[in-house]
Structure 1
Amino acid sequence: MITNTELEYKGDLYPSKIVSYTHDVDSIYFYTDNSVILKLTVLRDSLIRFRFTTKGYFSNDFSYAIDRSHSHGYNHLEVTEEKTYFQITTNKIICKIQKVDLRASIFDLKGNIILEDELGFHWEECYEFGGNIVKMSKASRDGECFYGLGDKATQLNLKGKRVENFATDQYAFQKEQDPLYKVVPFYIGLHHKQAYGIFFDNTFRTYFDFCHERRNVTSFWAHGGEMNYYFFYGPNMQDVVTSYTDLTGKPELPPLWALGYHQCKWSYYPESNVKEVAAKFRELQIPCDAIYLDIDYMEGFRCFTWNKDYFPDPKRMVSELAQDGFKTIVIIDPGIKIDKEYWVYKEALAKDYFCKRADGPYMKGKVWPGECNFPDFTNPEVREWWAGLFKELISDVGVKGVWNDMNEPAVMEVPNKTFPNDVRHDYDGNPCSHRKAHNIYGTQMARATYHGVKRFSYPKRPFIITRSAYSGAQRYTSSWTGDNIATWEHLWIANIQVQRMSISGMGFTGSDIGGFAEQPTGELYARWIQLGVFHPFCRTHSSGDHGDQEPWAFDEEVIDITRKFVNLRYQLLPYLYTMFWQYIEEGTPMLKPLVYFDQDDIQTHYRNDEFVFGNQILVCPILEPNAQGRRMYIPRGEWYNFWTNCLVKGGKEMWVDTKFDEIPVFIKAGAIIPKYPVQQYVGEKEFDELTLDIYYKEGKEKSVVYEDGQDGYDYKKGRFSFLSFQMTGKEKEVNIQLHKEGKFDTNYTKFKINFIGLPFDIKMIEIDNEEIVFDAKSYKENQYLIVPKDFNVLHIIG
């Protein structure tokens, strides 16, 4: 590994002085007398792209990460030349480029420094590979904090850390182990209440150093490619994350069932075992929407085949599971077994779709089926072919989702665990070696899988999950954090990983509940379920070689806790679905670390454990055995303890008592939390009322609820319901204004309203300025109100 010290002092080259510049619409080109060109592009007033070349011209501009539909356009752009620098001014920021060496510094409009180059852009000629190691160093200030970078098994704040980005199959990884399965070269800096972001869009092996080597220097570098990065200005973290998520893209809404509870193991077979597991969930009344088939469902691990000894009639089995509310999800890996009798292999061979070594032969590697060739998913023709392979699984058999694994890509029995560097890829018409394509291989596989599943699921929505991913993969797929271990340390890691993925643009993420490797105790499994139901993707998964890991593998108490928390997740599905809508509409992360929730409170900057689920539910998992409670930080504002309804004032650390069947959960004062009745699977019940838990607050608070047909694409034609509730609480009254958008009419006709923390006895109720009959005795007995769903103003008077 190349250290920073080596980077700075081992024959590095630097841009020399600027000799000319040109301004072309949104781009300014700066030319130096040693053939370096900086192309600075203003995409938005707060978003600038910096692209450098050292050879006097730019190669084709191509990125898998950037969403072509991202919003761009600025309100103001002015370029002025001063004595020692050029100045680029937008409506949000000022950027100065030094004439002597191309170094950049960025200020807000008041002249406060946001970010400035230390050495700035420099490079080292790498003769071994015939390219450059490209480098960037930025000055960092005391107290600066760093967040993001996706899937990292370390504390949330990356200050003092050095990390590596190279998609790697890390079975049973440890805390601080790096690199892992995913590559998200995007970070957020925070200093003096001002946030900014950097996205280094380079698919080669990359490194980031956050004041690890030198106290006041942050640097990033890559083993090839261009120095090509985007700068996002906040000043709020929300602005940075939203802008990055817009640039790299957002997913479609998943089907609502995909937000339910999923059960997985390596492997459920034969059919009788699958049916037994499904029946047990229904018998124990633990809701479950999806069951997974791992590699043993295939014939000799050949993708797109079935082992007819284990599954004699897959279509019938999948149909019978569906009748009981279970969607079937199957695994598909990239390795295609070398077998001249195997139809997938024969097709790919005939069409020349496999990856090749530099000297011509197909790349060969061992994975589960034995010796395999691997499709080149960077070739659009191969992706189209791959998508077509899903017809039988989806259209004929009725499978509802596909799980892509081993797509880092992972290869067995070789020291580097992956393809050789000399493997060649099409890269959508930009031919390259595996050094460049490695980090996006998994994403392009997931992309091809997504298009296939979508094509044959239509008019229903597809569901895809991937292990490996690069920035932008969220457009096609959900993900999980890979092969973890059944330990308390890994419970801590899972909590941080999913928060970090959420603020790195990849919201639809979860961990293997209970741990993939080794066997959890009942207590650890219960604590993991209690965390996992508050993750966007919720799935128990285990390697199976250590015994069973279904909820009933433990004692009655654990079964009851699992049921209680999975029930809670199903009740909160409208809240979770609304979170997802805000993620795809606004780029808002579904989980919010405390620093994201309140960056101005310095106490949040080093918090790891607590997070805000959506906008109004604070969650803090129990991460140690035998815990009767824990210390946690309550953010500023007022919060109700979910279990006791006691009101606490935040902005402080406090001890919270908890039982084995609880974890600390708090609801923001003023919140209106929507709930469905408990269902054993999504769509099991028709219901005539939506429950609204209303948490009193003196003052104003807004809450929203998004609903639609729960599957399909009618929501894109306006067939959705978006309810905005504005609650105003006073000493002796509560006013709730309701505004509705969208053309979707929900099945229910009423709201069932529960008031929590109301400081007065209700004496009168008005709906749209008309008093309605209020039975105080009935309310006292039942503690809820029933009101029609189509009110405009609900007025509660004490």
Structure 2
Amino acid sequence: MITNTELEYKGNLYPNQIVDFSQDVDKLYFTSENGVVLQITVLRNSALRFRYATEYNFEPDFSYAISEKGIRGYDKLVVSETKTEYLLETIRMKILVDKKTMRIQISDPEGNIINEDEIGFHWEENYEYGGNTVKMSKITQTGESFYGLGDKAMHSNLKGKRVSNWVTDQYAYGKDQDPLYKAVPFYVGLTENKAYGIFFDNTFKTHFDFAHERRNTTSFWADGGEMNYYFIYGPDVSKVVRLYTDLTGKPELPPLWALGFQQSKWSYFPESNVKEIAKKFRDLNIPCDAIYLDIDYMDGFRCFTWDKTKFPDPKRMISELEEDGFKTVVMIDPGIKVDRDYWVYQEAMENDYFCKRGDGPYMNGKVWPGKCNFPDFTNPEVRQWWAELYKEFMTELGVHAVWNDMNEPAVMEVPSKTAPLDTRHYYEGNPTTHRKAHNIYGMQMVRATYNGVKKHSYPKRPFVITRAAYSGTQRYACTWTGDNVATWEHLWLANVQMQRMCMSGYSFVGSDIGGFAEQPNGELFARWIQLGIFHPFCRVHSSGDHGDQEPWSFDSGVTDVVRKFIELRYQLLPYLYTMFYEYSNNGIAMLKSLVMFDQEDPQTHFRTDEFIFGHQILVCPIQEPNAQGRRMYVPRGNWYNFWTDELIKGGREMWVDADIDSIPLFVKEGAMIPKYPVQQYVGEKDIDQLRIEVYYKNGIENSTVYEDGQDGYDYTKGRYSLRNFKLQGKPAQLSIQQYKDGTFVTDYETIEFKFHGLSFEIGGIEIDSEKVSLEDVKYGEDLSIQVSKNFTVLRVLGK
């Protein structure tokens, strides 16, 4: 290893010789001669926390990101010592701590290096603000790739990139523009088929260099605070993401309608326009579950008010929309108009809830209402007050969901686009400035909103949307990627950003379908819809400056394509809901980049276009104009073309036809894909039968279907239905075993199995060891059979 004396440059300071070691159960302390204390906490067999103090002094240990519900505990921790190092061993990792330099090396139980410090921890005193700029550098392994870091609008593989985390209102951002709306300081490294994750839990402005400045060095640093990071070992990428999501928190299940199609614009007003939009959806039989009201529903852009000229009776309007199957979603921003006659402003002033500048005056900035003050959401008392502001909206008017925008916080007409850095925050009793609180401001706003919506929507489940986010915000809200543009480049960006967010533990995510700024043509809008229906959050939103952007805003051919794919979204709702159940319970990403699906295949490491929707559907959007198909990479395994049932062998690149009414779509062999009938909105129809598309495989494949009451909390008491299917195919036989869990009783009594790709002609059917008459089997293109939902084993036998 390099010695510290060789690295004394650029004013940086480094730990020197370790002179003391102690252990307190799961925490180990290493103290250097020059006052650096390294605390290593063993969280799980595969997860560690590294925390460094200088001058023997740790800051108060507090994090907005870490979930209290995360799983903790390990099976083994052995500590030993040699002349040159300390060795820590769990059943999954070995950790070496160098006595001379405090550098870390982490390897698997066989001794293969997973991650290794280069310079390791170092720091530089910040003379302007006080405290330290804290830094960490790691050795970049040969062929190492990097993923994650939230909504970065760039290639999914971050190798060679240098990025920052500072939540920023970036209207009409471009490719590679950075930073954007989210600060998610978590990345996944992959080398030699071994994946690890690093979460740098520091809310100051953070920076990451992935072999950009020096090709053999990966580094990350922050403008203040502590060097405090978590290390997670896979070796599977999917496990790293799952453990990180457990660490920072999983969301509860949303109401099923929140996974339906949603329509928004800046802005739908007055009431007659909202009603006209709703009627058009129903007249054209285009499914839709929600209509959004942007800031123009407010009285002078004052939050928690209504413009009674545009919306004379919001309660009646919301009720009438609900009768037609539409939920109403309203926007709330953080800026509160400075207005002595405005009751929200009065309450905040009376209780001293607004943020102040370093020398005492209120922090104010221009937003849509004009001059505004900003609540300090890092104060629990302020959050509680804010939550109660939703009572009238949710309980008296019947609003169904809330959309928090501009919560970076965005401030107009100032170079920084946000609050001054000397703005003070309570920070849960650890007073600080905006330098530390900026990245979590929007997170704490939406936390307060979530608590209010949840309380006042009860017994229904809350649905909240946010633009700004820090790690852990997925516990409170879904999100979207902000003010994008109606261009083909932004269609590509939307695809990459969704995959990146899901790899960053934040799966409930979507883009403004069609683009927020500017106007798409019909082809671009149709192609974006085809992609957007495979994103967990599915919403059209536009600025409205350049024309309308509803499904019927283009020619009838485009409208037909849009209807076709939105209908497919509604058919796949049980599949999507099952994906969300697995995300909510186990932290499993809802979309998977190909590298998450098959990291052993080096061809997947730099793929951006294709992704796996759930576990078993492969999607590859058309991202260029005038295309009648495209080349795509089909990952390892065998896949059925969704449209033709042709069986394709994967592990190769191929051309796929896809005219304007199609998208390259494949289903993994052995998959069992659940479907509902097309509905105009969730709850329109009673589900009288579950349909499952069965894709034959000569082998074994497992599939799952999760269902519950679609809203409310009975599922937490065991009132859910979890159907686990095991498909086993042989050359002349296909068997399906069902294992059911939960006490929820579905409305339907039968399941219809539709078979794809059977390799034999059916000669007999057995259900729970009893033969069934072949008269019950439908032959032809739609080869299917209906069985009782409570069957245990279904066998399809060849002649």
TM-score (norm 2): 0.99
Is it true that 1:452 corresponds to 2:421 in the alignment?
no
CA contact (8 A) 2:20 2:30 kept: yes
Q: Distance in 1 between matches of 2:764 and 2:529?
A: 42
After superposition, give the CA deviation of every residue in 1:109-130 in whole Å (9 maximum; x if it has no partner): 0011000000000001011001
Aligned-partner residue type, residue 757 of structure 1? G
* Structure 1 partner of 2:659: 659
Aligned-partner residue type, residue 620 of structure 2? C
Q: Distance in 2 between matches of 1:406 and 1:651?
A: 44
Is it true that 1:178 corresponds to 2:178 in the alignment?
yes
* Structure 2 partner of 1:275: 275
Aligned-partner residue type, residue 89 of structure 2? T
Counting only pairs closer than 5 Å after superposition, residues 96-495 of structure 1 correspond to structure 2 as 96-495=96-495
Aligned-partner residue type, residue 369 of structure 2? P
* Structure 1 partner of 2:610: 610
* Structure 2 partner of 1:795: 795
Q: CA deviation at 1:687?
A: 2.7
CA contact (8 A) 1:762 1:776 kept: no
Give SS of 2:239's match.
helix
Q: Distance in 2 between matches of 1:688 and 1:457?
A: 28
Is it true that 1:768 corresponds to 2:768 in the alignment?
yes
Q: Distance in 1 between matches of 2:18 and 2:261?
A: 58
After superposition, give the CA deviation of every residue in 1:357-400 in whole Å (9 maximum; x if it has no partner): 01111101000000000000000000000000000110010000
CA distance change for structure 1 residues 360 and 574 in 2, over 3 Å: closer, same or farther?
A: same
* Structure 1 partner of 2:4: none
Q: Detail structure 1 runs of 4+ shifted over 2 Å in the superposition.
A: 776-783
Is it true that 1:699 corresponds to 2:699 in the alignment?
yes
Q: Distance in 2 between matches of 1:649 and 1:197?
A: 32
Q: Distance in 2 between matches of 1:535 and 1:238?
A: 18
After superposition, give the CA deviation of every residue in 1:717-767 in whole Å (9 maximum; x if it has no partner): 000000001000011110100000000000000011110001111111010
Give SS of 2:107's match.
strand
* Structure 2 partner of 1:574: 574
Q: Distance in 2 between matches of 1:778 and 1:166?
A: 59
After superposition, give the CA deviation of every residue in 1:291-321 in whole Å (9 maximum; x if it has no partner): 0000000000000000000000000000000
Q: CA deviation at 1:59?
A: 1.6
Give SS of 2:716's match.
helix
Q: Distance in 1 between matches of 2:272 and 2:422?
A: 46
CA contact (8 A) 1:40 1:51 kept: yes
CA contact (8 A) 1:594 1:605 kept: yes
Q: Distance in 1 between matches of 2:293 and 2:778?
A: 50
CA contact (8 A) 1:779 1:785 kept: no
Is it true that 1:67 corresponds to 2:67 in the alignment?
yes
Give SS of 2:382's match.
helix
CA distance change for structure 1 residues 386 and 141 in 2, over 3 Å: closer, same or farther?
A: same
CA contact (8 A) 1:148 1:501 kept: yes
Q: Distance in 1 between matches of 2:8 and 2:249?
A: 35
Give SS of 1:552's match.
coil
Give SS of 1:115's match.
strand
CA contact (8 A) 1:763 1:776 kept: no
* Structure 2 partner of 1:671: 671
Q: Distance in 2 between matches of 1:781 and 1:221?
A: 60
Q: Distance in 2 between matches of 1:389 and 1:781?
A: 57
Q: CA deviation at 1:9?
A: 3.9
CA contact (8 A) 2:138 2:219 kept: yes
How many residues of Structure 1 are paired with residues of Structure 2 in the alignment? 792
CA contact (8 A) 2:406 2:467 kept: yes
Q: Distance in 2 between matches of 1:487 and 1:746?
A: 43
Aligned-partner residue type, residue 217 of structure 1? T
* Structure 2 partner of 1:538: 538
TM-score (norm 1): 0.99
CA contact (8 A) 1:35 1:54 kept: yes
Q: CA deviation at 1:658?
A: 1.1
Q: Distance in 1 between matches of 2:703 and 2:155?
A: 31
CA contact (8 A) 2:59 2:226 kept: no
CA contact (8 A) 2:776 2:785 kept: no
Is it true that 1:23 corresponds to 2:20 in the alignment?
no
CA contact (8 A) 2:754 2:782 kept: no
After superposition, give the CA deviation of every residue in 1:242-279 in whole Å (9 maximum; x if it has no partner): 10000000000000000000000000000000000000
CA contact (8 A) 2:295 2:301 kept: yes
Aligned-partner residue type, residue 40 of structure 1? I
Q: CA deviation at 1:781?
A: 7.3
Counting only pairs closer than 5 Å after superposition, residues 505-516 of structure 1 correspond to structure 2 as 505-516=505-516
Is it true that 1:591 corresponds to 2:591 in the alignment?
yes
Q: CA deviation at 1:776?
A: 7.2
CA contact (8 A) 2:697 2:729 kept: yes
* Structure 2 partner of 1:690: 690
After superposition, give the CA deviation of every residue in 1:675-733 in whole Å (9 maximum; x if it has no partner): 00000000000132100100000000000000000000000000000000100001111
Q: Distance in 1 between matches of 2:442 and 2:719?
A: 34
After superposition, give the CA deviation of every residue in 1:600-659 in whole Å (9 maximum; x if it has no partner): 011100000000000000000000000011010001000000011100000001111111
Q: CA deviation at 1:780?
A: 3.5
Q: Distance in 2 between matches of 1:8 and 1:691?
A: 67
> Which consecutive residues of structure 2, in runs of 5 or more, have no partner in the other structure?
1-6
Query: For the aligned residues, what is the CA RMSD?
Result: 0.9
CA distance change for structure 1 residues 8 and 34 in 2, over 3 Å: closer, same or farther?
A: closer
Q: CA deviation at 1:55?
A: 2.1
Give SS of 1:551's match.
coil
CA distance change for structure 1 residues 31 and 8 in 2, over 3 Å: closer, same or farther?
A: closer
